[in-house]
Structure 1
Amino acid sequence: MKKNKTSRRKFIKNLACLSTGVSIATNKLWGIPNYLPNMSLIKKTINGVQLGLITYSFRALKDQSAEATLQYILDCGVNSIELMGKTAESFVGLPETSFDQGIFNLLLRKERKNILSKVEEKELVELKKQQKSYDKEIKDWKKKRSIDRFKDLRKMYNSAGVDIYAFKPNYLLRKGNSDADINYAMQAGKILGASHVTLELPEDSNHSLRLGRLAEKNGIKVAYHGHEQQHAHWWDIALKQSSHNAMNLDLGHYVAAGNTDAIELIEKQHLNILSMHVKDRQNPKNGKKNMPFGQGDTPIKEVLKMMRDNSYKFSATVEYEYETPKDSSIIEEIRKSIEYCKNALES
């Protein structure tokens, strides 16, 4: 396993005295730091509503290891999360890529739209070679991977006072993924303590049918996420296919898509929603931009208060997407977003 930018040994030293008040216990599990619960974290629920965070919010930070991500979570003052798959899998030994996956995916999208420049065409050819080599490396790794390592990851997070209520693995969306890979991802989510795994709703309804059936076998649910393709009936087929298919509504994207019925949708579907991404986007008339919480057109306060007043059980997941001000930091802006939601629930 290739080491992340910050080694675990260095990470342990750096965490000897976190500003959030977490201290490390003397005993360790397989070389992993063991934490004492951080009593300064927000409550598990605020007036009955679980307020969490998706670790995708930290995507621009340099160190993406599970250990560094835990520190980011604690620095934000959060105790429940939706965990990204790559963060978890890097912990259990997933080989790292030697190329920029984001650029590769961008060029693939351009290729599908037939808008690649000559320079980009050459770059994509080289990246495809690297991807092919990486795929072989992953194939070899899968033969020896152990799902038990996810138990260690859960223990590390739980001992710091952080629960994982949702897991967004990498092996669900593509139809070409084997049942073995999908089962592995779902079982990993269950081991981590998640009630559901999340992914983009597949365009092919046969795949959501397949995922629902596999989720039922694995004793976990699948919550489907969306961007601007969301509308009030977007999840209907998947929800009818299986009792283990559910919704991972994105409130901000829903508004940016031009929908004006977010309140009505949540009232109707709250039993099918397992978690909801919270961000503040503008509506189409105002430009669709991601904005600091309270400055966009997304009814964040209204929805959170509705969840509180009606005792809705799904989690509200803060997702940081707006541009970081030059005089601030990602962690500071996430803290502001969480505080905005907390104030709404307490008012």
Structure 2
Amino acid sequence: MNKNQRTKNQSRRRFLSNSAALAAASMIPMNYGFTNPLDSQMVEKVDSNFGGVSIGTITYSWRSMPGGLENIVKYCNECGISSIELMSGDLETFLGAPENPMTAIFKSMAPPPPPKPGEKPAPRRRPEFTEEQKAQIEKYNQQMTTFRVDVDMNKVAAARKLLDDAGIKAHIVKFSPSRWSDEEIEYAFKVAKAMGAKGVSEEISEAAAKKLAPFAEKHGMYVVFHQHMQFAENEGFSYDPYIAVSPAIMFNFDSGHFWGSTGIHPNEILKKYHERIFSIHIKDKTGPDAEVPNTNQVWGQGQMPLEDVLLLIKKEKWPIYCDIELEYEIKPWSDAVHEVKTCVNYARQILM
């Protein structure tokens, strides 16, 4: 048994030994005694900083739950989370964005088949749009451009207040704006900054780095790039060329995707690039050499060295946001809020 496996087993035992206490505590809602959990005068503020390490989540983790910024506040409150990477859809809906006709179109389609273990999810098949649907989409795109360019900053202030009153900070807003017009990119950074975020996140690419870095520099913010399996799939892939583009470029290091696809300890990347890693996504996975490779697992049931990663960040006191990304299968008797809360408790037991 290697050192990583020993520490993982110790972490699991410590977590399980405290499970009874955690279960009892979980019976008391975070907003116990309050009649309206979204009333700014009555919300019990949460704090998910454990041992100096900020444990939060990307709100994508709740994609299976009803959306909306008010619900995000509720879910954070129930999970005990005070720090989020905010997906822009819930924010823009709150700000009054028009409804996307693609939502109804995709809902009417059969979902793609579930991926086989170790494989990427199959992309949703692009439908053959009718002429009427094409017109609806074109109209929506024009409406979104107008909405973004003319956004009501009073509504942004109201969105910020909703989070602030609940003690929740959005450190990133994931607008993914690299394919937008310059005016819309300007909107993304302006709104994210008004929300109190330090960065706008996007999927990593050289073109996106060159396009978005000047906007980040202008606003005194970061563009934060997220990776999937590029370290395994692209020979010689490195963060170095991106770092050379601008000091405003930072990284959202997905430690789970990295481990699952390469089998290399994520701490190797953390040690080398910690000054440029703004946040990490944390999840449990099997490694590439497992019988069922690179597959999401319930925390504590995979091979990802979660404890090593969190304890290194704690030891070195690196100001790296650690965000849960819930991607394993949720059983019918549970839901995403319950599972994220379980992950929060798992991380707490490691760090406290």
Q: Do they fold alike, i.e. is TM over 0.5? A: yes
Q: Give the counterpart letter for 2:86 in structure 1.
A: L
> How many residues are matched?
307
Equivalent position SS for 2:78: helix
In the alignment, which of 62, 84, 87 is matched to residue 81 of structure 1? 84
1:217 aligns with 2:218: yes
CA distance in 1, matches of 2:259, 2:133: 36
| Separation of aligned partners in 1, 2:90 and 2:132 | 26
The change in CA–CA distance for 1:212 and 1:328 in structure 2 (over 3 A counts) is: same
Match of 1:21 in 2: 31
State which drifts further: 226-235 or 210-219: 226-235
- 2:242 corresponds to: 238
Over residues 100-136 of structure 1, what are the superposed CA-to-partner deviations in whole Å (9 max), with x where a residue is unaligned?
A: 38949x99x9xxxxx99xx976458775444223213
Which residue of structure 1 aligns with residue 259 of structure 2? 255
3-state SS in 2 of match to 1:277: strand
Counterpart in 1 of 2:273?
Answer: 269
**For residues 129 and 72 of structure 1, what CA distance do their matches in structure 2 show?**
36
In structure 2, stretches of 5+ residues that fail to align are 1-27, 113-121
State the distance in 2 between where 1:336 and 1:79 align: 15
Q: Distance in 2 between matches of 1:230 and 1:257?
A: 8
1:137-165 Cα deviation digits (max 9, x unpaired) = 32443454223321111111110111111
Matched, 1:309 2:319: no
**CA, structure 1 residues 279+212, in 2 after alignment: closer, same or farther (shift >3 Å)?**
same
C-alpha distance in structure 2 between counterparts of 1:193 and 1:24, whole Å? 28
Q: Which amino acid aligns with 2:231?
A: Q
Under a length normalisation based on structure 1, what TM-score does the superposition of the two structures give?
Answer: 0.80
| Residue 156 (str. 1) matches residue 162 (str. 2) | yes
Structure-1 residue corresponding to 2:178: 173
Distance 1:255 1:305 in 2: 17
Distance 1:228 1:51 in 2: 23
Change in 2 beyond 3 A, CA 1:142/1:50 = closer
Q: In the alignment, is the contact (CA less than 8 A) between 2:256 and 2:283 conserved in 1?
A: yes
Q: 2:215, 2:47 → 1: CA distance?
A: 35
- Contact (CA 8 Å) 2:51, 2:314: kept in 1 or not? yes
Query: 5 Å matches for 1:45-84?
Result: 45-61=49-65, 63-84=66-87
Alpha-carbon RMSD: 2.9
- For residues 141 and 261 of structure 2, the distance between their equivalents in structure 1, rounded to whole angstroms, comes to 35
Q: For 1:166 and 1:122, how far apart are their aligned partners in 2? A: 35
Instruction: Name the structure, 1 or 2, with higher relative contact order (CA <8 Å, separation 6+).
Output: 2
- Distance in 2 between residues matched to 1:102 and 1:51, nearest whole Å: 36
| Greater alpha carbon shift after TM alignment, 271-280 vs 131-140 | 131-140
- Give me the TM-score of the superposition, normalised by structure 2: 0.79
Contact 2:86 2:172 in 1 (8 A): yes
CA shift at 1:300, angstroms?
A: 1.0
Q: 132, 137, 153: which one pairs with 1:131?
A: 137
Three-state SS of the structure 1 residue aligned to 2:170 is: strand
Letter in 2 for 1:305: L
d(CA) in 1 for partners of 2:166 and 2:253? Answer: 28
Select between 47-56 and 207-216 the one with higher mean Cα deviation. 207-216
* Secondary structure in structure 1 of the residue aligned to 2:140: helix
Aligned-partner SS, 1:285: coil
8 Å CA contact retained: 1:248, 1:276: yes
Question: Residue 25 of structure 1: CA displacement?
Answer: 8.7
Q: Does 1:91 align with 2:94?
A: yes
Q: In structure 2, what is the Cα distance between the partners aligned to 1:243 and 1:128?
A: 41
Summarize deviations over 1:81-117 as a string: whole Å, max 9, x none: 111111111111111113338949x99x9xxxxx99x
- Give 1:312 deviation, angstroms: 1.0
**Whole-Å separation in 2 of the counterparts to 1:259 and 1:132:** 44
